[in-house]
Amino acid sequence: MKQVVAAGGRASIYPANLMDADAVHDMAAETWKKFRPVDALFCNAGMTGQKRSGDDGYEAEITNVFNLNLHHSRILSESFAPKMAERGQGSIVMTASLSALRGNGNIGVYSLTKAALVQLAKDMAVKFGPKGVRVNSVAPGLIATGWEGAILSDPVKSARRMQMTPLRRVGEPNEIADAALFLASDRASFITGHCLVVDGGTSITDGS
């Protein structure tokens, strides 16, 4: 936020429980009231969930995962897209995941929510494209956000993952931010309904 202000922009923090639909609606309304018009929306919050089928509390956690990963993005997008359409311009970017694009036996319902985000972006791109609003998603691979430690701390898992990644490294958060900024910007003015994979090549290789 300090960087935005230092560059001459306006910035504000609005704490909200993104698992609560009413709170998300309130945040959208307050944001539009304070910063309208809104040119770009980036839906980035997400969680993997820790429980697996059969664990106590699994169904309750599934509800939270879907609310945070999918429904908050849907509510925010449905709040801002029509207003963007009235102006004839706007861009929405959603954070999906490499897990949305291939099968995974250990990641739970996380992959379902991320696959749904990819489809949500496509559906909204079709709906709002004629009115000048673009909607895309970005699908990160393994990124150094802290979660990668579960893989890299195990020498066997780490070696396997690097073998499955042609660039032989973990991605950095700024590389995902740059991809999202590109999709949100006018430099991507003829791109909509697209899922931009940023994974160091993991999705294209057989591990050789």
Give the per-residue pLDDT at 107: 78
Give the per-residue pLDDT at 121: 98
Sheet containing 90-95: order of strands = 40-43, 90-95, 133-140, 195-198
Per-residue HEC secondary structure of the chain comes to: CHHHHHCCCCCCCCCCCCCCHHHHHHHHHHHHHHHCCCCEEEECCCCCCCCCCCCCCHHHHHHHHHHHHHHHHHHHHHHHHHHHHHHCCEEEEEECCHHHCCCCCCCCCHHHHHHHHHHHHHHHHHHHHHHCEEEEEEEECCECCCCCHHHHCCHHHHHHHHHCCCCCCCECHHHHHHHHHHHHCHHHCCCCCCEEEECCCHHHCCCC
Domains, the chain, in order of start with CATH, read: 18-201 (3.40.50.720)
Ordered per-residue pLDDT tens for the chain, 208 residues: 788 889 888 889 999 999 999 999 999 999 999 999 999 999 999 998 877 777 787 788 899 999 999 999 999 999 999 999 999 999 999 999 999 999 887 777 999 999 999 999 999 999 999 999 999 999 999 999 987 777 788 888 889 989 999 999 999 999 999 999 999 999 999 999 999 999 999 999 988 7
Give the per-residue pLDDT at 170: 94
What's the distance, CA 37 to chain centroid? 22
Give the residue numbers annotated as catalytic, written as ranges.
97, 110, 114
Give the per-residue pLDDT at 52: 74
Give the per-residue pLDDT at 2: 84
Give the per-residue pLDDT at 163: 93
Q: What is the pTM of this model?
A: 0.93
